[in-house]
Structure 1
Amino acid sequence: MEVGQSLKGEDVVNTLNHIATRRGLPSIIKVDNGSEFICRVMDKWAYERSIELDFSRPGKPTDNAQVESFNGRFRQECLNAHWFLFLEDARRKIDEWRQYYNEMCPHSALQWATPAEFAHRARETPCPTGLRSRNFPL
């Protein structure tokens, strides 16, 4: 998770480039209409890599329900539960929550596996070409 006071398109592109070195690039990225996603930098980055940016409809959070659900849980369990004294303190506390969420917390949508367990099983399971990178929600 990238932590900052305000993230711009350049920050999103840098984060996606970092993720791509470890996981590859998807063919589609589901995004909302935040300024960090509708900017020229993001559009150029996606175009140069033949990645489709799939924008949710304005005012329709159900278009991106999984991400909205995650954001609500993140806000409730992490952001509202802590006072952040400075940016590095926020990074540390958010990273601790991220590790808990991914490694310790089973999810019903993943058949009660943790995200880490689910990802491990997905990497071990053969998948037809193209299906694995079909969608990468942000």
Structure 2
Amino acid sequence: MTTQSQLSISTRGRGFSEITDEVAHVVRGSGVRQGLCNVFVRHTSCALTITENADPAVRRDLETLAGRWAPDGDPAYRHADEGDDDMAAHGRSVLAGVSLQIPVGEGRLLLGTWQGLFLWEQRQAPQTRQIVVTVLG
């Protein structure tokens, strides 16, 4: 059995939006008891990640690291069509990734105790992002 749903997530700009509950809702509604959930974001300037969901300092520190990996406005960038954060956002997206695979068991996501699913927005301005959730079982 395979089911697929699309989520629309509005961000406040650069930073993390937890999507664990939305994805878990899709999994519960799929009827799949055991299988795999694939989560894919249909954009090139944001990412998906599984990270600590209890201490927000972890996500702040990840922002600090990403700023070191791909700083805004680097004069070496050739692509800046949409502003100083344009190429940095693409680079961060490539480094963090645009899809996740999570095992499903007993009809639920098999995440660890402190794990949450996050859309990691890399653009400074608010965005609306489309996420495809496919549940296979």
Q: TM-score range by the shorter chain?
A: 0.3 to 0.5
* TM-score calculated relative to the size of structure 1: 0.32
Point out the structure with the larger helix share: 1
Using CA pairs below 8 Å that are at least 6 residues apart, which structure has the higher relative contact order? Answer: 2
* TM-score calculated relative to the size of structure 2: 0.32
